Amino acid sequence: MKRIPLANPRFGTVLMAALSTFVFPAMAKSVTKNGKMFIASTSDFVGDGKTDNTQQIQAAIDSCNAAGGGIVEFTAGTFLTGPITLESNVKLELDSAATLLGTTYTKAYYPAGYDTNLSAPSSLQPLITSNNASNITISGKGTIDGNGQPWWTAYNAAKASGGTLPARPRLIKLNHSQNITIDSVMLQNSPQFHVSLEYCWYVQIRNVTILAPSNSPNTDGIDPATCHFVYISHCRIDNGDDDIAVKSGKYDPTDPNAGCSNIWISNWHVR
């Protein structure tokens, strides 16, 4: 991915200002090909809150990517899913009556190729992820619900007994990706962090509501780590841990892109 070099990436600033508008010039590419919008078929999605739609949703994402870009639209319903991977030039659009609901089946989140006969791994896949992707969007008035209560209960029980703390999936974790928009959706009840960004560039998160009970463990709102040019605006966060945590990440400190820079946070409401 081509990126704008930073003059002083290790000493960038976090600006918390009332910025009413901000446009990243690198985010102009749309999810179209030859001027036509590709809409993925979602006729096989079942929004009853019980049927596992993981394969169908991933197939729709893959078809958008193969077409050069497109939209996966979720209409009214509750769509149960396991981990899905966003690919370049793909937009997830959730209708106001649509909910994407994370499964509570732990083994669904095991890393690819992990032997399910072994004890649980130390980390789990997030519900939604991206790796080396560009031009990705999650938007609409709908909800992405991590179904966190069973995870919190198990975690708190293990902590109280002094046992091994079980791994929990994050709701959204985007890695080494750029030109990202998360707009207007409600994110709630993540088993762990709601939005994690690692080594991402040119990110807009706006008009997003993040909700989790005040006693839910480690349910951070938005955590950019080793990210550059991130704009967070008009968001409401009411959760059980950090609202927004800007982190340096766990990468080689000699890397010229280590740390965060050019992070704008404006007009946000937290409780």
pLDDT in tens, 139-198: 999 999 999 999 999 999 999 999 999 999 999 999 999 999 999 999 999 999 999 999
Specify the pLDDT at position 144. 99
pTM of the model as a whole: 0.88
Domain presence at residue 191: yes
Question: Domain limits at 141?
Answer: 9-270
Q: Kindly report, residue by residue over 83-96, the tens digit of the pLDDT.
A: 999 999 999 999 99
Q: For residue 89, is it left (φ>0), alpha (ψ between -120 and 50) or beta?
A: left
Q: What is d(CA 147, CA 169) in angstroms, rounded to the nearest whole number?
A: 11
3-state secondary structure of 131: strand
Residue 6: is it exposed, middle or buried by C-beta count within 10 angstroms (0-12/13-18/19+)? middle
Q: What is the pLDDT of residues 106-128, one digit of tens each?
A: 999 999 888 878 888 889 999 99
- Give me the number of domains the chain comprises: 1
Q: Is 255 a catalytic residue?
A: no
Residue 136 lies in a domain: yes
In a domain, 4, yes or no: no
If residue 93 lies in a helix (H) or strand (E), which one and from where to where? strand 90-94
239 dihedral zone (left: phi>0; alpha: psi -120 to 50; beta): beta
Q: What is the pLDDT of residues 48-79, one digit of tens each?
A: 999 999 999 999 999 999 999 999 999 999 99
CATH of residue 29: 2.160.20.10
Q: Which of 241, 243, 252, 255 is labelled catalytic?
A: 241
- Whether residue 1 lies inside any domain: the answer is no
Specify if 3 maps to a domain.
no
